[in-house]
């Protein structure tokens, strides 16, 4: 782990324990070059995932990129950050437990759409507009009517 003060890779772990949410490990580190102390949070990764893009390129899965995309869709929306974290963790867990080392970007998009649908309708539409590459206003209407019909079905179940 690189020291945030001097940039050295020569650091030592002084203390290691599970974080409060138990999804990561909290480590106190000290740089052996400058003596700076800092904390890192490391996530447990079940498997190395590779994302197969629509263009055919293969890129390593990046949880932070997924989180940024979800946060952009949820920008200025009243959603608790813990719920966002749980949703992203759920998507990552589903991908890791699928048994495949390679996942299509479409598969990730579908899982995110499902998660956003439960968190916030506006964020769902925002994400859908990018994911489904909306070109016209009628594209938005189609998603909104889809959402309305889903809500009607849920209301009937209650």
Q: Are residues 39 and 103 in the same domain?
A: no
Listed in sequence order, the residues at least 6 apart from 63 whose beta carbon sits closer than 8 Å to its beta carbon are 43, 88, 92
Q: Are residues 69 and 119 in the same domain?
A: yes
Query: Is 86 or 138 the better-scoring residue by pLDDT?
Result: 86
Q: Are residues 38 and 114 in the same domain?
A: no
Question: Is residue 95, in this structure, part of any structural domain at all?
Answer: yes
- Distance between CA atoms of 73 and 67, rounded to whole angstroms? 10
The interaxial angle of helices 63-73 and 105-119, nearest 10 deg, is: 40
Q: Are residues 102 and 124 in the same domain?
A: yes
Length of the chain: 158
- pLDDT, tens digit, for every residue of 5-53? 999 999 999 988 887 766 678 899 999 999 999 998 876 655 688 899 8
Q: Are residues 37 and 84 in the same domain?
A: no
Task: Show the tokens assigned to 86.
Answer: 């749980």
Question: Is residue 2, in this structure, part of any structural domain at all?
Answer: no
- Distance between CA atoms of 63 and 118, rounded to whole angstroms? 20
Q: Are residues 65 and 136 in the same domain?
A: yes
- Structural domain tally of the chain? 2
Domain that holds residue 37: 11-43
Question: Is residue 5, in this structure, part of any structural domain at all?
Answer: no
> Is this prediction's pTM over 0.85?
no
Task: Show the tokens assigned to 131.
Answer: 């994911």
Supply the pLDDT for residue 47.
64
Strand partners for 125: none
Supply the pLDDT for residue 156.
58
């Amino acid at each position: 782990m690189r020291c945030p003060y001097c940039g050295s890779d020569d650091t030592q772990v002084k203390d290691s324990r599970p974080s409060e949410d138990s999804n990561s490990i909290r480590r106190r580190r000290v740089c052996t070059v400058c003596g700076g102390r800092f904390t890192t949070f490391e996530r447990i990764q079940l498997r190395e995932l590779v994302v197969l893009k629509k263009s055919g390129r293969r890129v390593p899965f990046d949880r932070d990129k997924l989180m940024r995309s979800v946060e952009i869709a949820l920008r200025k929306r009243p959603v608790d950050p813990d719920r966002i974290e749980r949703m992203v963790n759920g998507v990552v867990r589903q991908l890791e437990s699928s048994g495949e080392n390679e996942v299509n970007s479409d598969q990730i998009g579908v899982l995110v759409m499902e998660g956003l649908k439960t968190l916030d309708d506006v964020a769902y539409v925002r994400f859908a507009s990018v994911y489904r590459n909306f070109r016209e206003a009628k594209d938005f209407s189609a998603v909104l009517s889809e959402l309305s019909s889903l809500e009607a079905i849920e209301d009937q179940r209650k």
